[in-house]
Amino acid sequence: MKNANCKVDKGYRIAEVDNRIYGSFIEHLGRAIYGGIYEPGHPEADELGFRKDVIDLVKELKVPIIRYPGGNFVSGYNWEDGIGPKNKRKRKLELAWRVVETNKVGINEFVEWSKRVNSEIMLAINLGTRGIDDARNLVEYCNHPGGTYYSDLRVRNGYREPHGIKTWCLGNEMDGDWQIGHKTAQEYGRLSCEAAKVMKLIDPTIELVVCGSSHRLMDTYPEWESTVLEHTYEWIDYISVHSYYGNPENDTPNYLAKSLDMDTFIKSVIATCDYVKAGKGSNKTINLSFDEWNVWYHSREQDKKITSWSVAPPLLEDVYNMEDALLVGSLLITLLKNADRVKIACLAQLVNVIAPIMTENAGSAWRQTIFYPYLHASVYGRGAALYSLTETPRYDTKDFSDVPVLDTVAIFNDNQNEITIFAVNKDIQENMLVNYKIKGFGEFRIIEHIVYQNDDVKTSNTKDYPFRVIPEIKKDSVIEDGILKALLPKLSWNVIRIAIEK
């Protein structure tokens, strides 16, 4: 048995967690839209063709905001192709993923669907093949009340009320040479500044996310951030951060240490933002939108076999196991520990494409392993993130040294008078006893200790075995002399919910 100590104090707040940190992402990619959220003719389809079984699973996750429509897709997308009568919509070659896009779902349908799942939309504009003109037209279409060409076009399409989209992305991963319309930092900095200007001239209440680097190992990182921010600082509110992780070497301890990479990435993007701020002598702080993060590696080989120009092929369909769920848990803890600067984050993606929710065409829908840490964080992680001063055993791996065996963070929900502790025990052999000294709250009691664990870290939930690994309630944790003594099984994700009595 390993031991660790953790101090949680009401007075030591990191920040109020912005609920949008529990956002997600749906791209026109693979079966995310077609066969995922939308499948007319499915026994569960509603009058617009949206699968009600999928809607129920998304609602269970309480996803506050969903990024749409891409991703790489957006850099070649003409949004006008997705509006108006469905039988007149064009089928087009979609070059980012080399498929055929039917355009049966567009912005209006996505707005309808987002209302059904109680989510806001974070809408990305195309700064690959398009630019300033398209940016202003789309904001006018979505957010202007009426009396102009594009706002009246929306009204004619059946939407008298504006869509009122508040958060917008200025393109996607424009630093990547795979991106349609890839740009240098100078080119993108100028273009995104001018696009941002017209968008805010139409609707000054919107918030804008400018593209940061596609990942930390890009040759242009962090020069890209610095140059782009030099151009756009006064017009934008957030800079994007993207990162995917995997375990191709099949080295579990090293894999579970990869949340350290996310933390380093976040800290260095913050440093770059603040460097530009200092140079400009600005009072404005740019925050982070970590709008693509997840595990992505299981499906990469299988995707190479998919032939081009089909409709909604099964692309990026990672089947997640228990160790993926543990890493996702640690990544969520990392985002929460940086809640003072990470205001938006999107688990990429939501349905079928590297997703917590899977569907079978004409068949069932089920929860992957990564569904559960995301669910717990989104449902129980609302409130203020507290500094959790932790003494934990540590280990070294191929890529990391001094890796904490215990990852943990506490969230205080003032409205419900509850504290939630999230914790991952990364030890592959031993359980861990953690003494949590909880200060400044008076008396408290354990509501429940949820544990997600399985002795086989390669176990998955599948269509045929959708409930093979589900969370359990454990009774092993106790409060003694005002100290929470939490027993965390080896290789486990834990949620300890505490009620404050006085």
Is residue 101 involved in binding ligand AHR (CB under 6 A)? no
- Could you give the CA distance from residue 166 to residue 237 in angstroms, rounded to a whole number? 12
Closest separation in Å from C-beta 214 to ligand AHR = 6
The interface with ligand AHR within residues 17-46 (CB under 6 A) comprises 27
Shortest-Cβ-distance residue relative to ligand AHR: 71
Which stretch, 69-77, 114-122, 191-199, 438-446, contacts ligand AHR (CB under 6 A)? 69-77
| Catalytic residue (choose from 80, 101, 109, 292) | 292
* Residue with smaller CB distance to ligand AHR, 241 or 484: 241
- The answer to whether 466 and 364 have CB atoms below 8 angstroms apart is yes
Which H helix or E strand runs over 336? helix 322-337
Q: List beta partners, residue 293.
A: 243, 347
Crossing angle of helices 132-143 and 149-156, in 10° steps, is: 50
Is residue 70 involved in binding ligand AHR (CB under 6 A)? yes
Is residue 292 involved in binding ligand AHR (CB under 6 A)? yes
Closest separation in Å from C-beta 189 to ligand AHR = 19
* Residue with smaller CB distance to ligand AHR, 212 or 404: 212
Closest separation in Å from C-beta 210 to ligand AHR = 14
Radius of gyration of the chain (CA): 23
Which stretch, 68-76, 360-368, 379-387, 404-412, contacts ligand AHR (CB under 6 A)? 68-76
| Catalytic residue (choose from 109, 173, 225, 323) | 173
Which stretch, 37-45, 65-73, 113-121, 272-280, contacts ligand AHR (CB under 6 A)? 65-73
Residue with tokens 């273009």, as numbered in its chain = 191
Which H helix or E strand runs over 407? strand 406-413
Report the residue from 23, 49, 64, 71 that binds ligand AHR according to the rule CB under 6 A.
71
Is residue 75 involved in binding ligand AHR (CB under 6 A)? no
Closest separation in Å from C-beta 176 to ligand AHR = 7
* Residue with smaller CB distance to ligand AHR, 72 or 330: 72
- Could you give the CA distance from residue 171 to residue 489 in angstroms, rounded to a whole number? 43
Closest separation in Å from C-beta 341 to ligand AHR = 21
* Residue with smaller CB distance to ligand AHR, 97 or 113: 97
- Could you give the CA distance from residue 257 to residue 359 in angstroms, rounded to a whole number? 30
Is 292 among the residues known to form the active site? yes
Closest separation in Å from C-beta 136 to ligand AHR = 24
Instruction: Residue 385: name the closest of 410, 363, 407, 404 by CA.
Output: 410
* Residue with smaller CB distance to ligand AHR, 315 or 405: 315
* Residue with smaller CB distance to ligand AHR, 312 or 424: 312
Is 301 among the residues known to form the active site? no
Closest separation in Å from C-beta 425 to ligand AHR = 29
Closest separation in Å from C-beta 313 to ligand AHR = 14
User: Which stretches of 264-307 are assigned E, i.e. beta strand?
Assistant: 287-295
Report the residue from 19, 72, 388, 425 that binds ligand AHR according to the rule CB under 6 A.
72
> 356 — phi, psi (to 5°)?
-75, -20
User: Which stretches of 53-182 are assigned E, i.e. beta strand?
Assistant: 65-68, 92-94, 99-101, 120-124, 167-170
Residue with tokens 């749906």, as numbered in its chain = 26
Closest separation in Å from C-beta 96 to ligand AHR = 7
* Residue with smaller CB distance to ligand AHR, 214 or 453: 214
DSSP code at position 79: G
DSSP code at position 73: G
The interface with ligand AHR within residues 161-200 (CB under 6 A) comprises 172-173
Q: How many residues bind ligand AHR (CB under 6 A)?
A: 10
User: Which stretches of 147-272 are assigned E, i.e. beta strand?
Assistant: 167-170, 207-210, 238-245
The H helix count followed by the E strand count for the chain is 11, 24
- Could you give the CA distance from residue 242 to residue 290 in angstroms, rounded to a whole number? 6
* Residue with smaller CB distance to ligand AHR, 143 or 172: 172
Identify the three-state secondary structure at position 92. strand
Which stretch, 64-72, 107-115, 187-195, 253-261, contacts ligand AHR (CB under 6 A)? 64-72
* Residue with smaller CB distance to ligand AHR, 105 or 500: 105
Closest separation in Å from C-beta 371 to ligand AHR = 17
Q: List beta partners, residue 366.
A: 358
Is residue 318 involved in binding ligand AHR (CB under 6 A)? no
- Could you give the CA distance from residue 372 to residue 424 in angstroms, rounded to a whole number? 13
Which H helix or E strand runs over 348? strand 342-348
Other CB atoms within 10 Å distance of the CB of residue 252: 19
56 Ramachandran zone, left/alpha/beta (phi>0; psi -120 to 50):
alpha
- Could you give the CA distance from residue 81 to residue 73 in angstroms, rounded to a whole number? 13
Q: Which structure tokens are listed for 88?
A: 């007149």
Angle of CA points 366, 369, 371, to nearest 5°: 70
- The answer to whether 167 and 207 have CB atoms below 8 angstroms apart is yes
The interface with ligand AHR within residues 338-367 (CB under 6 A) comprises 348-349
The interface with ligand AHR within residues 214-273 (CB under 6 A) comprises 214
* Residue with smaller CB distance to ligand AHR, 276 or 346: 346
Residues marked as catalytic: 173, 292
Which chain residues interact with ligand AHR by CB under 6 A?
Answer: 27, 70-72, 172-173, 214, 292, 348-349
